[in-house]
Amino acid sequence: MADQKPEIFELNNGTMNVQLTNLGCTIISLSVPGKDGALADVVLGLDSVESYQKGLSPYFGCIVGRVANRIKEGKFTLDGVEYSLPLNKPPNSLHGGNIGYDKKVWEVVDYKKGETPSITFKYHSHDGEEGYPGDITITATYTLISDTTMRLDMEGVPKDKPTIINLAQHTYWNLAGHNSGDVLNHSIQIWANHLTPVDQNTVPTGEIMPVKGTPFDFTTENRIGNTIGQVGMGYDHNYVLDCGDEKAGLKHAAKVRDPSSSRVLNLWTNAPGMQFYTANYVNGVNGKGGAVYGKHAGLCLETQGFPNAINQPNFPSVVVRPGEKYQHSMLFEFSIE
């Protein structure tokens, strides 16, 4: 692994163009057409791989793990053994710890061009890394499966010890273009009748709460700016994906629409939850092309296992044992409406 260097790779099918780096499997840019046919780059990002290496990115575009989101007080017990993780977001552990998968250089094991271009990244995570038990092998494959659709398939295979795995793709989307200002005019529909409410440290309480009659209700499409003022800093909540229709084994998770460009993103997944995050903590980040990203400059749709699931017996399990495989797929369908 020592000879792996961060590089930039391109997936291009003639309609959409994606630039990625093997540093954290990060989407650096993703350009798709809008209503006038004009391409716009709809993901927030930095100007160089070096900027990501310096830690200047608030998880723009990357895959986070071994366990995405928060683990309460950085502690969990598995098969009677207690584990302690780095408290990189005190008082909790966040997105895999101090040096999560987003900060690792992955190996490129497959790279195809042509009509359905794809790239596969691989990473071996060792026993004890960032406090987590067990060796695991992770792969992530990005594929442009049609003109304006990208698929991501993530897999994790434990070697000889049980562990916990919960990967998430942390792209910040702005369908009007990455440098167009805030996303408060975007509207969103989320196929979730419930969410997992959180304590003052953004850790789920264990409750499963109906969204009906609250500012968290996106069961019908609503403009984000209409209700964001009623939820503190903004949205940063795990939605329970419990009512989406299915297609090819994936559930409809969310639909985002930007009125200015007519771009629409439909997201499908096989994960049980989705963190809807409105870039509440982004504040004056210097991005690519001279853009400066402020609060709410993008939105994240991080499909995932529920946060802190290992410490909540009523949440779907994130434990993966030898002989089992973690598998998480996402389908990003862009269109114009």
Catalytic residue ranges? 170, 302
- What's the Cα-to-Cα distance from 115 to each of 10, 17, 248, rounded to whole Å? 13, 12, 21
Check: CB of residue 245 under 8 Å from CB of residue 206.
Answer: no
Of 138, 101, 144, which is closest to residue 10 (Cα–Cα)? Answer: 144
Check: CB of residue 279 under 8 Å from CB of residue 204.
Answer: no
Q: Which H or E run contains 49? A: helix 49-53
| Three state DSSP letters for 50-94 | HHHHCCCCCCCCCEECCECCEEHHHEEEECCEEEECCCCECCEEE
Mapped onto helix, strand or coil, the DSSP state of residue 317 is: coil
Which pair of structure tokens corresponds to residue 147? 């003109």
